[in-house]
A and B are shown apart, each in its own frame.
Chain A
Amino acid sequence: MSLSRKSRTPVVDLESVVSGVFYALTAVLVITPIVYLIYGSFLTDSPGAPSAQWTFANWVRAYTDSTYLSAFFNTLTLSTTVAILAMIMGAAMAWIVSRTNAPGRNKLAMLVIVPLMLSNLITAVGWIALAAPNAGFINAAANALFGIRTVFNIYSFQGIVLVLAVDHAAFAFVAFYAALRSIDGALEEASYTLGAGPVQTGLRMTLPLIFPTVAATFLLIFVSTAENFSVPTLLGSGFGYQTLPSRIYFDMTVEPSEPTMAAASGMMLLWIALAGTLWQRRILARTSQYVTISGKGSRPRITDLGPWKYVATACLVFYLVIGVILPYSALLFSSFLNFLTPRLSWKLFTFDNYLFLLRRENVDATINSLLFSIGGGLLITGLYVTLSYFIKRSATGASRLIEYVAMIPTAIPAVVLAVGILWTFVGLPLPIYGTAAILIIAYFIRYIGLGVRQSRTALAQVSSELTEAARMSGASPLRAFTDVTVPLVRPAALALWTLLFMSIFTEISVTILLYSYDTVTLPVRLWNDMSQGHQTRAIAVAVLQASIMFVIIFAADRKFGILRNTLDR
């Protein structure tokens, strides 16, 4: 009898030991890079360098030097413009899908969210093929047909806005779609019965009701744009346009590099994210009093658009054309060209770009990318789910603290995070810097907020009564775990794995500062080919990446309806 006592005690202890180790590792991994970042911003040289001394000069320069101030200003204006435009597009599409009788709206809705899962770097490369001055297809066609040299130049502020706004419109669409769908139709009907017309109802009822969604969406798009490194750098550096992430990249990589300046200006980016988070908190605190957006309710009103319904459908189709079809067709087409040129001729067509993909560096990059995103993604999924499992199991102060810690990297721009991670591991005696491990660790840190949130939702479905019921049926703790917990968590874990696969497979912002010769990934190949002027080679890499992405999205949709789930989350 005392045997059972003995067998029980170590199990309890083992769990608290394992969870303690998990918590400690997570906290160290997340917090150390941030500490290094702050520390480094007060030094004259990288932490650990023999000549490094304390200084305030970086901070002073970041807030006085016109280079940094204009980068800061550019970041603000770009993010604001992108957020507003993306929201207008997303809201219009969400309204069409959820509140009108536009034909085919439900099928198109599933396609409208595809840009969410694609890489905006690849889309930007597609747009270079479309709208590079003179040579882009659109400009070449305009020149041939109307004699206009360049109708639209992608290497411009408008170009950057176009790529990012179209990309984020899909995100805004999902947010507004969810909000519009969940407003109780009776609330609006009540407004109609009191004599308010559709416009008045829209402005006075619907808009205030979805205001929290508006604010949250604005903030998320704003921050996502503000931390976007690849698109503004790729399209902007040619005409001297810099945002903070591109400036940080510049400081880190262009000789003479100024890494501690990158840290100090990276902190500027952090203020933006921080201010946004506080602002959102205030709004949520104010609006949480009217919780009308609940799950149930009567069906929302459908507006009959009459003949305009075809125009509404056309809007959705137009978005797909701009967001996916045009840039990706241009990619595919130009991947068979020797170089981008306004004068197309048969002589230009070639398979060289694809033959180039068979070269060792590209094969290695493909293997690395697949290995990191599939294997690394699985490992990271497992870590997130385990971490969330421990957080859910115990309601201790440590669990709550770790939940907060897990949310920190979400607020830190990826490029800035990469600087912190770099400094953390470069000085470590362990041989991690320059290996695949540092990238996997970086991905773990970068996506921890998303991962913990998602796996918590997954675990929430596994109430403790379900595992207890298994115990009452005679199952041991281990058997209850494998028979009940694992199968119930599996679908959500698979979805998280897919999400991480797609994120890691296209990750450039932290990879670009942390990769080494042995750990080059496809996005890095693409980036380097573009920087060295091998545009069509880069395009072939982009096509390879995009093809893999489309296959995965298609497979994931067939297997567990990833598109439908994203829409109906």
Chain B
Amino acid sequence: MSVIEVSNLVRQYGSKRAVDNLSFSVQEGEILVIVGASGCGKTTTLRSIAGLDVPTSGTIRLDGKTVADGAVFLPPERRGVGMVFQSYALWPHKTIAENIAYSQIVRGTPRAEIGTAVDNALALVGLSGMGDRYPATLSGGQQQRVALARCAVSEPRVMLLDEPLSNLDSKLREQMRDELKVLIKKMRSTAVHITHDQTEAMALADRIIVMRDGRIEQMGTGRDLYRRPVNRFVADFIGVATFLDGQVVEAAGDKVRVQVAPTLSLLATPSVAAAGDGAVSLCIRPESVVLSATGSPAQNVVSGAIVAETFLGDHIEYVVDVGGLKIKARSQDDFTLGQTAFVLLPPDAVISLPAAVQCQTGKAA
């Protein structure tokens, strides 16, 4: 059953719609990640679920119970929802133990039980024995864990996470990301996590929502979004890609032939949004491109000169100039700059998307 149900959510600030008719639901035990650039409405959505923001219109249900619609508004303290804040929001005047115990004290839990609950929460995040310290004496990563423990101690049905990893340095962020996922799953909580980092979204999420301008661009698993983006915005936002603008010239079974240059056409797979005719934008992920030193031109095989390389250890990133079109490719083989290489673009991995008018072309370089 769906634990969170958001339907037709609208939040208007003056003349601007921060959230524009948003609907989605989250299943029990699921981690939903909302990803988008700053100002896309993801924070407002999260705060609406928390009860920290009053929606202009729309309905929010938690466990089937309406907590916000035109007539009803349940304040945050009565929603039984836990939240981890971007700034961690640890109370500087309370010790770690007091921070964690607060929700239990407010709810009137017996003293003995609070002690055990705090110890368990501290153990859960690997901070046993740190209860007497104050937040200011902890490192960023440790503060992050305390914030998690504070949220976890009341075993909320729903956990809301507002970019909790964005203040950590990259190494710690990766580590905490994995710990976070294990923790949420261990608690069997339903979680909504928001972030602007697509890698974080893919690593954490059971399901991802990509938001822009208050609307959902696409909703699906990380695999769906990466391999079958519905439009160029999503394809560009999730992962790296080369985009080639072209014109559909014929349909060939479940594929389409797209003219991308006067002398070059490619077979491509139309996306779920069915970009089967007219002006399209082809999306090619660099790792699906196959580079080889020898070969001959054939269907979806083109030749070009290596014009840039970046050695990254486990692989090398190249840019191949194919008659003026710059195609990003990833390979473990060595090529030298200026060398001619043959580029295989597997038709299954060339996705034809509706042409996005507002995006500039030739973004590949």
With A465-B85, A473-B103, A474-B107 as contacts: A5 and B78 at CB distance below 8 Å: no
B14 CB, min distance to chain A CBs, angstroms: 12
Q: Which residues of chain A are within 8 angstroms of B52 by Cβ–Cβ distance?
A: 468, 471-472
Chain A CB count within 10 A is highest, among B50, B76, B107, for B76
Chain A residues whose CB sits within 8 angstroms of the CB of B51 once the complex forms? 471
User: Are A2 and B71 interface neighbours, CB within 8 A?
Assistant: yes
Question: Which residues of chain B have C-beta atoms less than 8 A from A466's C-beta?
Answer: 89, 91
**Which residues in chain B, 73-112, are within 8 Å of chain A measured between CB atoms?**
73-78, 81-83, 85-87, 89-93, 102-103, 106-107
Given A465-B89, A471-B52 in contact, is the A8-B73 Cβ separation under 8 Å?
A: yes
- Does any Cβ of A come within 8 Å of B352's Cβ? no
Q: Is the CB of A483 within 8 A of B72?
A: no
The interface size bin for chain A is: 20 to 34
Q: Which residues of B contact A476 (CB under 8 A)?
A: 75, 77
Closest partner residue, chain A, to B160 (CB atom): A472
How long is the Cα–Cα vector from A471 to B83 in the complex, in angstroms? Answer: 10
Chain B residues positioned under 8 Å from A2 (CB to CB): 71-72
CB contact under 8 A between A472 and B87, given known A1-B66, A488-B92: no
Chain A residues lying within 8 Å of B92, measured Cβ to Cβ, are: 461, 488
Is B93 within 8 A of A487, CB to CB?
A: yes
B102 partner, pick from A463, A465, A470, beta carbons under 8 A? A470
- Residues in chain A near residue B157, CB distance under 8 A: none
Please measure, in the bound complex, the distance between the C-alpha atom of A465 and the C-alpha atom of B74, giving whole angstroms.
19
Interchain CB contact (< 8 A) of A469 among B73, B75, B89: B89
A371 beta carbon closer than 8 Å to chain B: no
Number of interface residues of B (CB under 8 A): 30
CB-contacts of A81-140 with B (<8 A): none
Contacts of B150 in A (CB 8 A): 469, 473
Contact residues of A between 20 and 74, Cβ < 8 Å to B: none
Partner of B77, one of A1, A474, A488: A474
| B87 in contact with A471 (CB, 8 Å) | no
Residues in chain A near residue B82, CB distance under 8 A = 472
Near A by CB (< 8 A), chain B positions 59-77 give: 66, 71-77
Q: Which residues of A contact B81 (CB under 8 A)?
A: 472
Pair A474/B93 contact, Cβ less than 8 Å: no
Tell me how far the C-beta of A333 lies from the nearest C-beta in chain B, rounded to whole angstroms. Answer: 46
The winner among A468, A473, A474 for most chain B CB atoms within 10 A is A473
| Interface status of A326 (Cβ within 8 A of chain B) | no
Is A275 on the interface with B (CB-CB < 8 A)?
Answer: no
Q: Which residues of B contact A488 (CB under 8 A)?
A: 91-93
Q: Is the CB of B154 closer than 8 A to any CB of chain A? A: yes
Cβ of A484 under 8 Å from chain B: yes
Q: Which residues of B contact A475 (CB under 8 A)?
A: 77, 102, 106
Which B residues fall within an 8 A CB radius of A?
A: 50-52, 66, 71-78, 81-83, 85-87, 89-93, 102-103, 106-107, 150-151, 154
Residues of A near any B CB (own CB < 8 A): 1-2, 4-5, 8, 461, 463, 465-466, 468-477, 479, 483-484, 487-488
Q: List 28 A-B contacts (CB under 8 A).
A: A1-B74, A2-B71, A2-B72, A4-B72, A4-B78, A5-B72, A8-B73, A8-B75, A463-B89, A465-B85, A466-B89, A468-B52, A468-B76, A468-B85, A469-B90, A469-B91, A472-B81, A472-B83, A473-B77, A473-B102, A473-B154, A475-B106, A476-B75, A477-B75, A479-B106, A484-B91, A487-B93, A488-B92
Q: What 6 A-B pairs come out closest when comparing CB atoms?
A: A473-B103, A469-B89, A465-B89, A472-B83, A471-B76, A474-B106
